[in-house]
Amino acid sequence: MSVDFEALAVEAESAVSTASDFAQLDAVRVRFLGKKGTITTLAETIRSLPTEERPLFGQRLNALRQAVTAAIENRKAFLEAETDAAAFAALDVSLPGNIPNVGTLHPLTQILDRAVCICRRLGFALATGPCVETEFHCFDALNTPADHPARNEQDTFYFHNGRLLRTHTSSVQVRVMEKNNPPLRIIAPGPAFRRDEIDATHSAQFHQLEGLYVNRKVSVADLKGTLDFFFRELLGTGAELRFRPHFFPFTEPSFEIDVRASGLGDRERWLEMGGCGMVDPAVFDAINKSRSDQAFDPEEWSGFAFGIGLDRLAMVLFGIPDIRFLAANDLRMLRQFAV
């Protein structure tokens, strides 16, 4: 049997090079190399050849198979390149990409992050407590008697089970002292809730940064030095602090903290930023009673505490005119403070 391998090679070559897409190319592959393809069928005829013709026939058939396989691969690569080029031709790589919508930090979170960083440098550890509190942690342990106005239904959100939305973060002071021994130094940021008449500067939910330092011989000077440092780090070295005598049931003496700084808009205006004072020994007594030990012996231990309003701070620092904007989650507002 004589086979014209050269003619077959030319035929395959021309079929491959005229295949203009992947489907046509595959049809060519099936035609020559498929189960019933020309080359496969020829291979099956080897056995019927006289023995001396087999090696040469086999060699030529193999050479043909390799040539066709290679031609198909080449053509495939060419068609792929052509497809890519067509796709890229429609693509303008100079167009701006799609910017992913990853969100940004809320202005309150930004202030909080900065505040926490500053306190960490002073050695304060981060503490947390629940927003739904017991009266004990929110009031009783903090020396706040049953007839204190803060405990009034008019001022506080109570649940039916006697629990309440904490009216301040000072409840975390109690929780920390119940579980830890002095000396200790913590900050506790978080939301607090009051039944306030809601307007541009009052919201039923606001945020505080609580601080508590307990050690031997803690003084008002320590308290002032700490808050001075804190506000100067936060607002610049030009920040000035003023401590106004005040009353809180759980500190004695107590102060309100006023701050003025050029970063706060009007350089001349004092802004009230929160409350502070020296931990009242009655609080230590209540803690000891709750723990059933004398870990916070008021004869040995003293401390200071502060609570700073974060919403107010965010409002003045970012120039946000209405406290309600902080909770409204309007993207048009939030985007202005994206970092």
In the region spanning residues 229 to 258, those forming contacts with ligand PHE, defined by CB under 6 A, are: 248, 251, 254
Tokens at 180, concatenated:
């830890």
Asked whether position 190 contacts ligand PHE by CB under 6 A, the answer is: no
In 3-state terms, what secondary structure has residue 166?
A: coil
The answer to whether 294 and 285 are in contact (CB under 8 A) is no
User: Which residue bears the tokens 């390799």?
Assistant: 66
Complex with ligand PHE: residue 12 or 172, whichever CB lies closer:
172
Question: Shortest distance, CB of residue 155 to ligand PHE, whole angstroms?
Answer: 12
Phi, psi of 44 (to 5 degrees): -70, -20
Among positions 29, 65, 137, 168, the unique one binding ligand PHE when judged by CB under 6 A: 168
Among positions 134, 156, 170, 302, the unique one binding ligand PHE when judged by CB under 6 A: 170
Question: Shortest distance, CB of residue 156 to ligand PHE, whole angstroms?
Answer: 12
Question: Shortest distance, CB of residue 251 to ligand PHE, whole angstroms?
Answer: 5
Of the chain, the end-to-end C-alpha distance in Å amounts to 82
Complex with ligand PHE: residue 182 or 307, whichever CB lies closer:
307
Complex with ligand PHE: residue 57 or 213, whichever CB lies closer:
213
Bond preceding residue 253 cis, omega within 30 of 0? yes
Distance CA 257, CA 307 (A): 9
Cα-Cα-Cα-Cα dihedral sign, residues 279, 283, 287, 292? positive
Complex with ligand PHE: residue 32 or 284, whichever CB lies closer:
284
Among positions 189, 190, 303, 307, the unique one binding ligand PHE when judged by CB under 6 A: 307
Question: Shortest distance, CB of residue 274 to ligand PHE, whole angstroms?
Answer: 6
Complex with ligand PHE: residue 255 or 325, whichever CB lies closer:
255
Residue 109's identity, in one-letter code, is: T
By rule CB under 6 A, what string of x and - marks binding of each residue 16-35 to ligand PHE? --------------------
Question: Shortest distance, CB of residue 257 to ligand PHE, whole angstroms?
Answer: 9
Question: Shortest distance, CB of residue 100 to ligand PHE, whole angstroms?
Answer: 40
Distance CA 304, CA 254 (A): 10
**CB burial class (10 A; 0-12, 13-18, 19+) of residue 330?**
exposed
Question: Shortest distance, CB of residue 262 to ligand PHE, whole angstroms?
Answer: 26
Distance CA 77, CA 83 (A): 10
Complex with ligand PHE: residue 305 or 310, whichever CB lies closer:
305
In the region spanning residues 267 to 306, those forming contacts with ligand PHE, defined by CB under 6 A, are: 274-277, 305-306
Complex with ligand PHE: residue 276 or 326, whichever CB lies closer:
276
Strand partners, 259: 241, 271
Q: What is the helix, strand, coil percentage profile of the chain, to 5?
A: 45, 20, 35
Q: Looking at the chain, which runs of residues are DSSP E strands?
A: 125-126, 132-133, 164-165, 184-193, 205-215, 240-248, 251-260, 271-279, 302-309
Complex with ligand PHE: residue 32 or 139, whichever CB lies closer:
139
Q: Site residues (CB under 6 A) for ligand PHE? A: 168, 170, 248, 251, 254, 274-277, 305-307
